[in-house]
Structure 1
Amino acid sequence: MQLVVGRIGRAHGIKGDVSVEVRTDEPELRLGPGAVLLTDPASAGPLTVQSGRVHSGRLLLRFEGVHDRNAAEALRNVMLIAEVDPDETPEDPDEYYDHQLIGLDVFLRDGTRVGELTEVVHLPYQDLLTVERPDGKEVLVPFVTEIVPEIDLAEQRVVITPPPGLIDPDEAEVASSREDAS
């Protein structure tokens, strides 16, 4: 199975380093020295990580065969893809790889089907689950325990307890009307 683990940003310095937008919870494993990464577009790779370091809060990588700023700049916006064993799981039982979650059915606690989980969006401060509703609309659900209390990989389901208005905007209006009436 292939997972996108990063996107190459700007060149840094003159020796071939590039900044990388990390898209994995385990950069030390997926983006460490010696890691061989496929690329999108495929013509840019594969790339082997020669070295890496953090500078001013950003991950900088140097790839074998990329020795100057021009070669590094040519890699800008290339997606980095790692080959991952589909049976591999994180060490912490409360953590999940994106590929384990994508495709799961999403339900409310009362059993009402909300839709299908189609993407995990990694933001700097919080992850979001993209849920595609049966009508084709997408809903972004904060991936926090209070809203996503249950993930059952064996049953291929996620249970959510969203606040009013997150799934159905009309619920937010009803909830605010009730509060106004009190």
Structure 2
Amino acid sequence: MQLVVARIGRAHGIKGDVTVEVRTDEPELRLAPGAVLATDPAATGPLTIETGRVHSGRLLLRFEGVNDRSAAEALRNTLLIAEIDPEELPEEEDEYYDHQLMDLDVVTRDGTEIGRITEISHLPSQDLFIVERPDGSEVMIPFVESIVVEIDLEEQRAVVDPPPGLIDDQAEVASSRDES
């Protein structure tokens, strides 16, 4: 199974370093020196990580054979893809890989269908589920314990207990305000 683990950003300096937007919870495992990553577009890869370091809160990587700013800049916006064993599980009990959560059905505690997870957005403060509703619209649900109360991989569902207004249609929210 393939998993997008990062997107290459700007070149940094003149020796071929690039900034990366990390898209994995385990950058120390997936983006370590020696890791060989497939790329999208495929024509730019595979790439082997030569060095990695954090600079001003950003991860910088240098790839074998990318030795100057021009070569690094040519990689901008390339997705880095790791090959993952689908049976591999995170070390912590309540942790999940993105691929385990993708396409899970999202329901409330009482069984009301909300939609299915189509994307997971990793933000600095928290992760978000991007959930596509049956009508095609999307809703963002923070992946925090107080809202996502259960992940059931066997049943392929995420059970949520959203606060008022998080998932309700705007019309419902407005009408409840009018009634008060």
The aligned counterpart of 1:104 is 104
- CA distance, structure 2, for counterparts of residue 3 and residue 45 of structure 1: 15
The letter for the 1-side match of 2:20 is V
Aligned-residue offset at 1:155: 1.1
The letter for the 2-side match of 1:152 is D
- CA distance, structure 2, for counterparts of residue 176 and residue 83 of structure 1: 49
CA shift in 2, pair 1:149/1:82, >3 Å: same
The aligned counterpart of 1:27 is 27
Give the 3-state SS of the residue equivalent to 1:149 in structure 2: strand
Question: Which whole-Å deviations, capped at 9, do the CAs of 1:119-174 have from their partners, x for residues lacking one?
Answer: 11111111110111111111111111111011111111110111222222234224
The answer to whether the 8 A contact 1:131-1:139 is kept is yes
The aligned counterpart of 2:3 is 3
The answer to whether the 8 A contact 1:51-1:61 is kept is yes
- CA distance, structure 2, for counterparts of residue 72 and residue 31 of structure 1: 17
The aligned counterpart of 1:142 is 142
The aligned counterpart of 1:172 is 173
Root-mean-square deviation over aligned CA pairs: 1.1
The letter for the 2-side match of 1:60 is L
The answer to whether the 8 A contact 1:3-1:81 is kept is yes
Unaligned 5+ segments in structure 2 are: none
User: 1:30-41, aligned counterparts within 5 Å?
Assistant: 30-41=30-41
CA shift in 2, pair 1:164/1:174, >3 Å: farther
Q: Which moved more, 1:42-51 or 1:114-123?
A: 114-123
Aligned-residue offset at 1:99: 0.4
Aligned-residue offset at 1:175: 4.1
The aligned counterpart of 2:114 is 114
Q: Which moved more, 1:159-168 or 1:57-66?
A: 159-168
- CA distance, structure 1, for counterparts of residue 2 and residue 176 of structure 2: 43
Count of aligned residue pairs for this structure pair: 179
The letter for the 2-side match of 1:45 is G
Report the identity percentage: 72
Question: Which whole-Å deviations, capped at 9, do the CAs of 1:54-106 have from their partners, x for residues lacking one?
Answer: 01111011100111111111111111111101111110111111100011111
The letter for the 2-side match of 1:9 is G
Unaligned 5+ segments in structure 1 are: none
Q: So what's the TM-score if we normalise by structure 1? A: 0.94
- CA distance, structure 2, for counterparts of residue 24 and residue 44 of structure 1: 21
Name segments (4+ residues, structure 1) moved above 6 Å: none
Q: So what's the TM-score if we normalise by structure 2? A: 0.95
Give the 3-state SS of the residue equivalent to 1:93 in structure 2: coil
The aligned counterpart of 2:15 is 15
Give the 3-state SS of the residue equivalent to 2:148 in structure 1: coil
Aligned-residue offset at 1:177: 4.0
- CA distance, structure 1, for counterparts of residue 163 and residue 178 of structure 2: 15
